[in-house]
Structure 1
């Protein structure tokens, strides 16, 4: 049993394990904690999304849908092997499952068959949704499998768990089939081997573009920084782009940035769409 990692510790653990991690919108405060406890945590659960496409899958897992509010997991692992953090806290991913399975995870021993749904798993498992149709034909690229291995190992390493703390949704809740297309025994063996060596992420500290000054954002400015900024605005739900983002600073970029300023609580002349140092620092535009 363990206390859940803080958002900062979760982010650091994943990056230390060598993962590329994207912070999606307000993931740090996106949770279902008002519906029940989050923790103690005992393991990591792997799912497939039954969707295609990174952007749509990440948005769905962040927001949820009409019958199941988001977040639907803590992180989405895309086909290229990047992790998109969408929630921190209780998430609607595990649902009711077998209490005997939870006991085995806690004891870090072989899993019994999951033949009951008598225990709420949402307080007890970190959840990763992996982009795949789950039809048995949609491929699992090696980059994605490696990222699943790394993500599971990162949390096991952070909590001092072994590979038996990693399970699939199909091993928890009767009737579930995810993840389909690889075996959990094979994944656990990969995690076991990884945990036998030091993490290879080189520290994983994120680096961000320093504020280039308000004068940088002049009509006609072309820079990859503008593109990176636009992607961050989209991730925060502030993008107003029909096409793009692109490298040229335009009125649409300014409109999108003004939406970000308003999201931070600015108004009037302070939300004119021209970046200032405080709002830029809080946007955390990755180095390009």
Structure 2
């Protein structure tokens, strides 16, 4: 017996297993809970959609159709192995099934034949629809099979279940054939193998380092005219400021060359005169950076000011 995690936690545990997850609209609150409870949960149920095309399949599984309102599952697994979350809570995916099968799932034992439909499966199972025509000929790409394996293992890992807690719709409800094209025994063997491995969560992307402009060095560079006699003062922060002026539409990219020349002076003077730059007038808008105008530019274009 297990209580489902929160929707945000659910997405986290899938991603931690290495899955690519797309969150569709208001999936966290889209459910059929008004028709009955969801939980306790005992297992994961795998289906095929009998559809083709990712967008159309996701829409059907999210919205449902006449006589069967959506969501029709919790997630849709496409041919590329991407998981599209369309609902969370009670979903119209399992229907009535065999109470002996449910007991075997709860006890994590070999499944008996499903020969009756007496127990509400929508209450007790996570459901995943996998995009496939369901005709026994439509192929199952390895990326999709791997995603089914990972989805199932992620949920089992979270709840402390074994692979025995993962079943196909065809093992739950008499007359159902899905998923057709691979055996659930082979999938459970894959899940068992994955559960025996330690999962390393994907490394977070490095936090971008914000450039830093030294005001005193920038002023020195600005006051050194590159056309005058002698070598101009050079400072790497000039490029940062020039890039910001380019982004602001005040300097042509060709003049972003690392030298605070007359063109850059004119561009910075335009920034100083603009409302965003401080609205300076007369000699205050001389194109030589001051702390206030430079900090405004940095705030808009992602750099910090020191000195």
Query: What is the TM-score with the length of structure 2 in the denominator?
Result: 0.66
On the 8 A contact 1:61/1:71 being kept in 2, the answer is: yes
SS in 2 for 1:44: strand
Q: Deviations over 1:12-68 (max 9, x none)?
A: 110000000000011001000000010000000000000000000000000000110
Corresponding residue of 1:192? 192
Corresponding residue of 2:172? 172
Corresponding residue of 1:87? 87
Corresponding residue of 1:46? 46
Structure 2: stretches of 5+ with no match in the other structure: 208-246, 250-307
Call closer, same or farther: CA 1:81–1:204 in 2, change over 3 Å: farther
SS in 2 for 1:122: helix
CA offset at residue 204 of structure 1?
A: 7.3
Distance 1:90 1:157 in 2: 21
On the 8 A contact 1:37/1:123 being kept in 2, the answer is: yes
Call closer, same or farther: CA 1:203–1:16 in 2, change over 3 Å: farther
Q: Which runs of 4+ in 1 moved over 6 A?
A: none
CA offset at residue 200 of structure 1?
A: 3.8
Call closer, same or farther: CA 1:28–1:112 in 2, change over 3 Å: same
On the 8 A contact 1:12/1:204 being kept in 2, the answer is: no
On the 8 A contact 1:15/1:204 being kept in 2, the answer is: no
Corresponding residue of 2:155? 155
Structure 1: stretches of 5+ with no match in the other structure: 208-215, 219-288
Distance 1:195 1:148 in 2: 13
CA offset at residue 9 of structure 1?
A: 1.1
SS in 1 for 2:136: coil
Query: What is the TM-score with the length of structure 1 in the denominator?
Result: 0.70
Corresponding residue of 1:129? 129
**Over aligned residues, Cα RMSD in angstroms?**
1.8
SS in 2 for 1:170: helix
Kindly tell me the number of residue pairs found equivalent between the two proteins: 209
Distance 2:172 2:5 in 1: 22
Distance 2:204 2:75 in 1: 17
Q: Deviations over 1:219-270 (max 9, x none)?
A: xxxxxxxxxxxxxxxxxxxxxxxxxxxxxxxxxxxxxxxxxxxxxxxxxxxx
Corresponding residue of 2:23? 23
Corresponding residue of 1:117? 117
Distance 1:140 1:146 in 2: 10
CA offset at residue 203 of structure 1?
A: 6.0
Q: Deviations over 1:126-146 (max 9, x none)?
A: 000000000000000000000
SS in 1 for 2:9: helix
CA offset at residue 201 of structure 1?
A: 3.6
On the 8 A contact 1:18/1:150 being kept in 2, the answer is: yes
CA offset at residue 96 of structure 1?
A: 0.2
Corresponding residue of 1:281? none
Distance 1:110 1:200 in 2: 30
Call closer, same or farther: CA 1:73–1:40 in 2, change over 3 Å: same
Call closer, same or farther: CA 1:57–1:102 in 2, change over 3 Å: same
SS in 2 for 1:9: helix
Superposition map of 1:228-247 within 5 A: none
Corresponding residue of 1:100? 100
On the 8 A contact 1:4/1:39 being kept in 2, the answer is: yes
Relative contact order, higher structure (CA 8 A, sep 6+): 1
Call closer, same or farther: CA 1:204–1:104 in 2, change over 3 Å: farther
Q: Deviations over 1:172-206 (max 9, x none)?
A: 0000000000000000000000000112442679x
